[in-house]
Amino acid sequence: MIRLFVAWLALTVSVMASAQGVALVDFTDLVAKSTPSVVNITTVVDGKPASRTQIPDEMRQYFKHFGIPESPMPGYGRGMPKRGQGSGFIVSADGYILTNAHVVADADEVTVKLNDRREFRAKVIGSDKTTDVALIKITADNLTPVSIGDPSQLKVGEWVLAIGEPFGFENSVTAGIVSAKGRSLPQENYVPFIQTDAAVNPGNSGGPLLNMRGEVVGINSQIVSRSGGYMGLSFAIPIDVAMNVSNQIKADGKVSRGRLGVSIQEVNAELAESFGLKKPAGALVTEVEPGSPADKAGLETSDIILRYDDKPIDTSFDLPRLVGATKPGSKARITVWRKGATRELTAQVGEMGNTKTAGAHDARSDMAGLTVSPLRPEQKKQLGIESGVLVEDASGMAARAGIQAGDIIMAVGNVAVNDAKDLAGALEVKGRKTVALLIKRGDESSYVPLRLD
Q: Looking at 108, 128, 132, 422, which residue is catalytic? A: 132
Q: What angle do CA 427, 429, 430 make, to 5 degrees?
A: 145
Residue 427 · residue 452 · CB < 8 Å:
yes
Nearest by Cα to 307 from 297, 319, 295: 319
Residue 337 · residue 80 · CB < 8 Å:
no
- Active site includes 102? yes
Q: Is 342 helix (H, G, I), strand (E, B) or coil?
A: strand
In this structure, how many other beta carbons lie within 10 angstroms of the beta carbon of residue 287? Answer: 12
- Active site includes 197? no
Q: Looking at 34, 87, 172, 205, which residue is catalytic? A: 205
In this structure, how many other beta carbons lie within 10 angstroms of the beta carbon of residue 307? Answer: 18
- Active site includes 65? no
Contacts of 305 (CB under 8 A, 6+ apart): 264, 282, 283, 285, 299, 313, 319, 334, 335, 336
Q: Looking at 92, 102, 197, 445, which residue is catalytic? A: 102
d(CA 203, CA 205): 5
d(CA 34, CA 14): 38
What are the Cα distances from residue 48, in Å, to 79, 102, 338? Answer: 6, 19, 55
As annotated, the active-site residues are: 102, 132, 205
